[in-house]
Structure 1
Amino acid sequence: MAAQADEKESAESLLAETQKKIGDAFDIFDHESNKTVDVREVGTIIRSLHCCPTEGELHDLLSEMEEEEPTGYIRYDMFLKTMTNVLMERKFKPSPEDQLLKAFEVLDTEKRGHLLVDELTKYMTEEGEPFTQEELEEMLSAAVDTEKGVILYKDYAPLMAVDDAS
């Protein structure tokens, strides 16, 4: 019985901690302090919680959170409900570092240990789900080695990975 009570208390503690993280992230973007955020900022909030949904998955999450008549804003109670489920089910977790390295190695067909800016730009804008210009610029600002002018992906992959502890 005591073990069961401890397990319940641990689950409740995890839930409370998760909901606090969600609330803290939401509050940063609640500029009017009225428990709403601009729908355009929800993707940023979700990603700040270490969730990496595709644009399609993000669209699905937004439709789950929006009012029947979309207002352009997402209410905190709807965001909290949806994101609690997402985080507790560990959905949209970022790829681990070794998987990211393998992906870069596949792109590095000449096995140079780096990618050229033009190569990465082409892959990120023409393949799969294309990055927007803003996303691409943000990625390149973090990925490009300023001295060499290339992406040293062995250095960049760890920055993209998120520790499970967070």
Structure 2
Amino acid sequence: MDDEEEEIPVPINNDLERRIAEAFEVFDHAGNKTIDVREIATIIRGIGCCPSEAEIQEIIVAIENPEKPGSVHLSKFLPHVSQIISEHNPEQLLEAFRTLDSEGHGYLTKEHISTLMTQDGEPFTQDELDEMLEIAIDPHTQTVPYEYYINQLMHEPVGEENNIYALADRIEAEKPPPPPPPKRMSEYLREAENLM
């Protein structure tokens, strides 16, 4: 049976699927494209998502191997998790963050988001919150600039820039200096007088 599972083709179609598959492979200790269902929450949170325990249970029910209870094959995990993440498109996430950011700062404080995630709705455990904040917090400002966070969820930085904040810092540093301010007419007249 393991040999048959190993032969199931699992096409990787985009960057999101590649990230999911790479996270999955970390927990595929036998190298047979199968993991223990107890690793699902860790994998999903490791790619930056923040599902509740109830959502994790729904995922397990949907993708657990009925012939080998307690295990999940990559061929079931990858399309299901990819679809869930894709359904939560960036525009919806951005709108949700903007709703929470009533003053329009473009970020949420660590304290504010911690309170929201642990006290409202279905609360996160401290471990779940810590996993989310590890990815979401800007190391320079100790806030959650949510546009950067959403970009980090949707796109994996490549090369030495191992997170979206390092990429943003590099882009900011590479910006050309601003152009000089436009001259006033009086400055042109003074320059003309000096030439005469």
TM over 0.5: yes
Give a deviation string over 1:37-73, Cα, whole Å, max 9, x none: 3332123345678987653243133235155896xx4
**Hey, what's the Cα distance between the residues in 1 that align with 2:140 and 2:148?**
14
- After TM superposition, give the deviation of residue 162 of structure 1 in Å: 4.9
Letter in 2 for 1:133: Q
Q: Which residue of 2 aligns with 1:123?
A: 116
**Hey, what's the Cα distance between the residues in 2 that align with 1:32 and 1:111?**
48
Q: Which residue of 1 aligns with 2:58?
A: 60
**Hey, what's the Cα distance between the residues in 2 that align with 1:94 and 1:47?**
17
How is 1:1-166 mapped onto 2 (pairs within 5 angstroms)?
Answer: 16-18=10-12, 26-33=24-31, 36-45=34-43, 54-64=52-62, 65=64, 73-74=70-71, 79-80=73-74, 82-83=76-77, 86=80, 90-93=83-86, 95-162=88-155
**Hey, what's the Cα distance between the residues in 1 that align with 2:26 and 2:86?**
22
Q: CA RMSD in A?
A: 3.8
Gaps of 5+ in 1: 1-14
Gaps of 5+ in 2: 1-8, 157-196
The share of aligned pairs that are identical, in percent, is 36
**Hey, what's the Cα distance between the residues in 1 that align with 2:49 and 2:79?**
12
Whether contact under 8 Å (1:61, 1:82) holds in the other structure is: no
Whether contact under 8 Å (1:125, 1:131) holds in the other structure is: yes
What count of residue pairs does the alignment treat as equivalent?
Answer: 143
What secondary structure, in the 3-state scheme, does the structure 2 residue paired with 1:128 have?
A: coil
What secondary structure, in the 3-state scheme, does the structure 1 residue paired with 2:35 have?
A: strand
**Hey, what's the Cα distance between the residues in 2 that align with 1:47 and 1:105?**
22
**Hey, what's the Cα distance between the residues in 1 that align with 2:53 and 2:92?**
21
Structure 1 residues 30 and 114: CA distance shift in structure 2, 3 A: closer
Structure 1 residues 51 and 16: CA distance shift in structure 2, 3 A: farther
Which of 1 and 2 has greater Rg?
A: 2
Structure 1 residues 158 and 121: CA distance shift in structure 2, 3 A: same
Whether contact under 8 Å (2:108, 2:143) holds in the other structure is: yes
